[in-house]
Structure 1
Amino acid sequence: MPSRELAAGRLINLPDVDAENPPEALGTLAGELDLESVLVDGGDHTGLVAEGTITGSVLRQVDLSGARWGPLTLVDVLLGQVDLSNASWQRVVARRTELRTCRAIGLRLSVELATDLSIVDCRLDYATLHLEKVKGVAAFTGCSFREATISGDLSNVLFLDCDFTDTEFRVTRAAKCDLRTSRLTSARGLLSLRGATISPEQAVSISTLIAAEAGLIVLDVS
C-alpha cells in the first residue's frame, strides 16, 4: 500500500489507485453512487444530489460545484482538479482518500470518520469543515482556508504550510494536531486549539490574539 511521510516522521496511507495509470473502466455519476475501480474523467455534474459509495476509483477534472452528496463513503479514492465550490458533502466516511488541487471555495464538508485522509493544494476559502473523528492521520498540505470555519475534533490532524487568514476555529479537541508550518496570524478561536502543537515563532506571533481571546488588555507601559 503506498504511503507518504509527513512531519515528525508520521506516515499516511494513500489511495491504492494510480493517477498516472487510472482504472480503464469509465464510470458515470448519478444519484445512487455505487462505483468500484472506475475512472470518472471530466463532465459537468453541477448541483448533482447523490449518496452511496465510491471505491478504488479516480475522479479528475469533474465539475461538482453545488453538488449535495451524503451519506457518502470513499475508500481508496483519488480526486484530482475537481471543482467542489459551494458543494455540500455530509456524513462522509473517508478511508485512504486524497484530494489534489481541488477548487473547494465555500464547500460544506462534514466528515464522520477519516482514516488516512489527504487534502493537498486545495482552495478551501470560505468553507465550513467539521471533523467528528480521525483514525490514523488526516493531513492538509498547502491548503488555503481564508475566512473558513473549522470545527470538531482535530486530534491527529496535520496542517502543513496552510493559510489560515481570518479562519475561525471552533474545536472540541486537538491532541496531536500539528500546526507548526502554517500561518495563524489572523485566525480566531485559537484558545479552542488546546493540545495542538505550534512553533516558538508562532507562539510569539499569535500571543496578542490569544491574550485578547482570554480577555486580557495589552497596553504598552507609558
Structure 2
Amino acid sequence: MSARSTRPGSNGFPARRDPVAPKPPSALELATVEDHDLADEATYRRLAFFDLDLSGRRADSVEFTQCRVKGTDLSGTQLDGARLDDCLFEHANLANLRAEKSSMFRVRLSTARMTGLHWVNGALRDVTISDCRLDLSSFRFTAFQHVVFQGCNLGQADFQNADLRGASFVDCDLTSAQFSHARMAGARFTNCALAGIGGVTSMSGAAVARQDLVTLSHVLAGALGIRIEEDD
C-alpha cells in the first residue's frame, strides 16, 4: 500500500500509515571486500553486499544508499554516525553491531540475526523489521516514526527513553523488554508477549490488542504494588 500525506496526529507525529517501501535501484553492482570494505566517511551506492564478511569493523559516518545486504556478516561492527537510505537486509548477521547517532530511512530488514544490536540515540523512519532475532538489543533514546516490528524476538530489548510514538509491534515476543521513560502515546501492540516488561507505566496512550490485556494487567498490577489473589 502506498503511503500518502496526512495531517499531524494528536501525538505530534503524522497520522499512522504503513512504512514507505525502499526505492529500488535501477541496477546493482556486486560489492567485494577488496573494493568496498568499510571505511570512515565512505559512501556506498547501489551495491549488492552478498555473503561478505564485514564483521568486527569500525567505520564512522558511513552512508549506504539503495544497497542490498544478503547473507553478509556485520556482527560486532561499530558504525557511529551511519546513515542507511532505501536499503534491504535479508538473512544478514547484525549481532552485537553498535551504532550511535545513526539513522535508517526507508529500510527493510527480514530474517536477520540482530541479537545484542545497539542502535542508540538514533532515528528510524519508514522501517519494517520482520522475523528478526532482536533479543538483548538496545534502542535507548532512539526515535521511531512509521516503524513496524513484525514477528520479531525482542526479549529483554531495551527501549528506555525511546520515542515509540510512531512504532507498531505485531506478533512480537517482548518478554522482559524495558520501556522505562519511553514516550509511547500512539504506539501499538498486537498479539505480543508482554510478560515481565519493565516501565509499564510509560505505556500511557499506547494501544494494546484485547488479547494482550490479561498479561499486561498482571504486569501493571505488579508495578503498582497490587496483589492479585486467586479465588478460593
State the match for 1:31 in structure 2: 39
Ranges of 4+ aligned residues in structure 1 off by more than 4 Å: none
State the match for 1:94 in structure 2: 104
State the match for 1:67 in structure 2: 77
Which amino acid is 1:31 matched to? Answer: A
Instruction: Provide closer, same or farther for how the CA distance between residues 178 and 134 of structure 1 changes in structure 2, counting only shifts above 3 A.
Output: same
Q: For residue 170 of structure 1, give the secondary structure of its aligned residue in structure 2.
A: coil
**In structure 2, distance between residues paired with 1:130 and 1:23:** 34
Q: For residue 50 of structure 1, give the secondary structure of its aligned residue in structure 2.
A: coil
Q: Does 1:167 align with 2:177?
A: yes
State the match for 1:16 in structure 2: 23
Q: For residue 211 of structure 1, give the secondary structure of its aligned residue in structure 2.
A: helix
Q: Which ranges in structure 2 are unaligned for 5 or more consecutive residues? A: 4-15
Q: Does 1:158 align with 2:168?
A: yes
1:148 positional shift: 2.0
Q: For residue 134 of structure 2, give the secondary structure of its aligned residue in structure 1.
A: coil
Instruction: Provide closer, same or farther for how the CA distance between residues 165 and 130 of structure 1 changes in structure 2, counting only shifts above 3 A.
Output: same
Structure 1 range deviating more: 170-179 or 26-35:
26-35
Instruction: Provide closer, same or farther for how the CA distance between residues 10 and 109 of structure 1 changes in structure 2, counting only shifts above 3 A.
Output: same
Structure 1 range deviating more: 140-149 or 111-120:
111-120
Which amino acid is 2:63 matched to? Answer: T
Q: Is the 8 A contact 1:131 1:154 kept in 2?
A: no
What CA RMSD, in Å, does the superposition of the two structures yield over aligned residues?
Answer: 2.3
Instruction: Provide closer, same or farther for how the CA distance between residues 134 and 146 of structure 1 changes in structure 2, counting only shifts above 3 A.
Output: closer
Q: 1:113 aligns with which of 123, 137, 142?
A: 123
Q: Percent identity?
A: 25
**In structure 2, distance between residues paired with 1:132 and 1:187:** 18
State the match for 1:45 in structure 2: 54
Q: Is the 8 A contact 1:46 1:66 kept in 2?
A: yes
Structure 1 range deviating more: 209-218 or 199-208:
199-208
Q: Does 1:209 align with 2:219?
A: yes
Q: 1:180 aligns with which of 190, 199, 207?
A: 190
Q: For residue 153 of structure 1, give the secondary structure of its aligned residue in structure 2.
A: coil
State the match for 1:138 in structure 2: 147
Q: Is the 8 A contact 1:153 1:171 kept in 2?
A: no
Q: Which ranges in structure 1 are unaligned for 5 or more consecutive residues? A: none
Which amino acid is 2:19 matched to? Answer: I
TM-score when scaled to structure 2?
0.84
TM-score when scaled to structure 1?
0.87
- Per residue, is there more strand in 1 or in 2? 1
